[in-house]
Amino acid sequence: MEFSAPQIAHEVLWPAYVVFGAALLGVLAEAFLPRGRRFGGQVVIAALGIVGGLVGTVMVAMDLPSVGPDDVTAYGVTTVGDTVAVDGPTLFLWGLVLLLGLGGVGLFAERRLESGLSAFAGQAAALPGTEAERKASTEGLDHTEVYPLLLFALAGMMLFPAANDLLTLFVALEVLSLPLYLLCGLARRRRLLSQEAAMKYFLLGAFSSGFVIYGIALVYGFAGSMSYAAVAEAVRAGESGSVLMLTGLGMITVGMLFKVGAVPFHAWTPDVYQGAPTAVTAFMSAATKVAAFGATLRLFYVAFGGERWSWQPMLWIVAILTMLVGAVLAVSQQDVKRMLAYSSIAHTGFLLTGVIGLRDSVELGGAEITSLQAVLFYLVTYAFATLGSFALVSVVRDDSGEVTALSRWAGLGRRSPVVASVFALFLLSMAGIPLTAGFVGKWSVFAVAVSAGAWPVVVVALASSMIAVYFYVRVILLMYFTADPDPTKAGSTDVGVGGDAALAGASPSSGSQPERGTITVTSPTRVADEVRVETPSLATVVVIAVCAGVVLLLGIVPGPVLDLAGSVGTFIR
Amino acid sequence: MTPYIVLSAILFAIGAAGVLIRRNAIVVFMCVELMLNASNLALVSFARQNGNLEGQVAAFFVMVVAAAEVVVGLAIIMTIFRTRRSASVDDASLLKY
């Protein structure tokens, strides 16, 4: 037993180094820059780091060596002792998460909506409703640590789909999760909700990663090695249905399904998406799902591809449940962010429908799209629609911050036609209406699932798509065809659905110490508490515009991106 | 070899049950740590069985990850406790339905 130093192919890993390096530089900047300069400095470091990573990803993708037998197209290298695989799908996902990260930085840097302050707590350690918090607010304190945290999460998201080894998978999972737990708890307004979201996300996330590592231990016991190649070897050679292997696979799957938010491990999703600062929700809901699906695909295709008769039925059930629960529960939601959270659960189900469309390359006809291609394309359509819609939620505000109660969005279409129509575009794309990106995405995942024989799942998927259309269109009707609510009545109707109780930070009935639960800037007399659309900073406008553009463009000419997703080849083994 | 794996399974089950049953966030968190340590025991036992070092190396990584998780977790639980004067996971129930 001795160690030999692994060969590290720095020439393909450097995009990830750039992002990690920018994150570390951000930590140093936090320590050494004077307070006034930190915001600008951090934004510049983060943006440059991500752009550098993007440039690197494109450059690495340009000259990726082709590997494997001739009948299977795959490009890439495995490196660091085969623990990291930089191949076509990895680079596609790197590009996607980095673009989303850039959007995230743009949304994080939004300071116009809060009149010069960011959406993050001035001082997270100051208790809500205390003098210290007010002071932090009036002095304009700001947690600029959020940018390094975002970069660390982003670096973890780059490592996650590249993980070609069970231990790397676990480490990447934690590197991407831990910063997100913190980011969730840093909201400037509605801090109790935000802290509660952080705690729920953290405890459940830690619980699920406990399952992952125990599953990894069992699979390691079965295969005798952590590397996907060795696991795949052992799965093919060993007798099918080994208890050790199946238990291990099941436990790892629990963790992965938790990360993507699939039923029955979805309970955290609505709470966290609602409670977290909206900029964080936008980034997290889009990018985490992309990275986690990348890692899930590699795990199932490369390591456990030989055992797919065991995991496909399990994923059938999970996909069916996820789509149905997501779509049905979204119907009854009264809060925009919560509704989008349930819609994202439903999308997880659609993505899983694509995952179970896995077939051997020999079974595929030449012109058919592969399961991997369909899922990658769906991830693009989903990610941009989600990022854009959460970004839009952050500009609909009243005196006490964002307005998320759906009832108060009534009549938005008349007051601000641009915002309402762009939001409607995102909703229609998520619903899968033709001429938007979502339609092509759904069509491709359903097609691969049908061709793999999973037609019962597709039938359920079509049914839940129809349910989903109902609640998306309901919001559009609300925005365009419902009269403005009477502002005097709006407050009282919201209490029941947690709207105003949430605004105040704590519901009065539960408040053993209500004075602690009040938020910072609620004016005592709410005379004109009307919902309005505020003009955000240029960065947010650009993010929303780009997302809308992508959604429209992919709906009308999906060809180039579909081809790109097809040209990445398969996972290397 | 089997006794160690059985012991690790028992520890893991105690940890998982604790997460589901206990109300105090700190105790819940300690139960998560117990699950991670049960995994460490399993990893090290399997490393001995397989005759390679990967499992032992993994155990070190798990320890580091657990330490990092403690930092983040205690920070979050502390803020909740200071705000609400309670670390009970049942009290934090503003987000629902």
**Cβ–Cβ gap B85/A513 under 8 Å:** yes
Chain mean pLDDT for chain A:
84
Torsion angle in degrees (nearest 10) through CA of A539, A540, A544, A549: -10
Count of domains forming chain A: 1
Residue in the block written with tokens 């977290």: A276
For A190, phi and psi rounded to 5 degrees? 50, 55
Structural domain harbouring A127: 10-506+532-567
**Cβ–Cβ gap B97/A124 under 8 Å:** no
DSSP B17-75: HHHHH--BHHHHHHHHHHHHHHHHHHHHHHHHHHTSSHHHHHHHHHHHHHHHHHHHHHH
Residues B34-47: what's their mean pLDDT?
94
H or E stretch at A87: strand A84-87
Residue A404 — very low, low, confident or very high, per pLDDT cuts 50/70/90? Answer: confident
Chain A contact present for B87, CB below 8 A: no
Chain A contact present for B75, CB below 8 A: yes
Chain B contact present for A243, CB below 8 A: no
**What is the pLDDT, as a whole number, of residue A490?**
44
Q: Work out the minimum CA distance from A402 to partner chain B, whole angstroms.
A: 16
Task: Supply the ipTM of this predicted assembly.
Answer: 0.95
Residue at A455 is within a domain: yes
Single out the residue of A146, A100, A439 nearest to residue A286, CA to CA.
A100
H or E stretch at A376: helix A371-393
**Cβ–Cβ gap A513/B38 under 8 Å:** no
What is the C-alpha to C-alpha distance for residues A203 and B40, in angstroms, rounded to an integer? 20
Residue at A526 is within a domain: no
Within 8 A by CB and 6+ apart from A271, the residues are: A196, A197, A200, A201, B95, B96
Within 8 A by CB and 6+ apart from A340, the residues are: A273, A285, A386, A389, A390, A393
Residue at A521 is within a domain: no
Residue at A493 is within a domain: yes
Chain A contact present for B13, CB below 8 A: no
Q: Could you tell me the pTM of the whole model? A: 0.89
B39-65 burial string, b = 16+ CB within 10 Å, else e? bbbbbbbbbebbebebbeebbebbeeb
B67 pLDDT higher than 60 = yes
For A312, counting Cβ atoms within 10 Å of its Cβ (0-12 exposed, 13-18 middle, 19+ buried), the class is middle
What is the C-alpha to C-alpha distance for residues A175 and A152, in angstroms, rounded to an integer? 7
Q: Which residues from chain B sit within 8 angstroms of residue A171, using beta carbons?
A: 61, 65
As a whole-number percent, the residues of chain B with pLDDT over 70 amount to: 98
Q: Is B82 helix (H, G, I), strand (E, B) or coil?
A: helix
Q: Work out the minimum CA distance from B16 to partner chain A, whole angstroms.
A: 8
Determine if residue A5 is left, alpha or beta; phi over 0 gives left, psi from -120 to 50 gives alpha, anything else beta: beta
Helix A455-481 with A308-331: angle, nearest 10 deg? 20
A200-250 pLDDT tens trace: 999 999 999 999 999 999 999 998 889 998 898 888 887 666 888 889 999
Q: Is A512 helix (H, G, I), strand (E, B) or coil?
A: coil
DSSP B9-32: HHHHHHHHHHHHH--BHHHHHHHH
Residue at A524 is within a domain: no
Residue at A101 is within a domain: yes
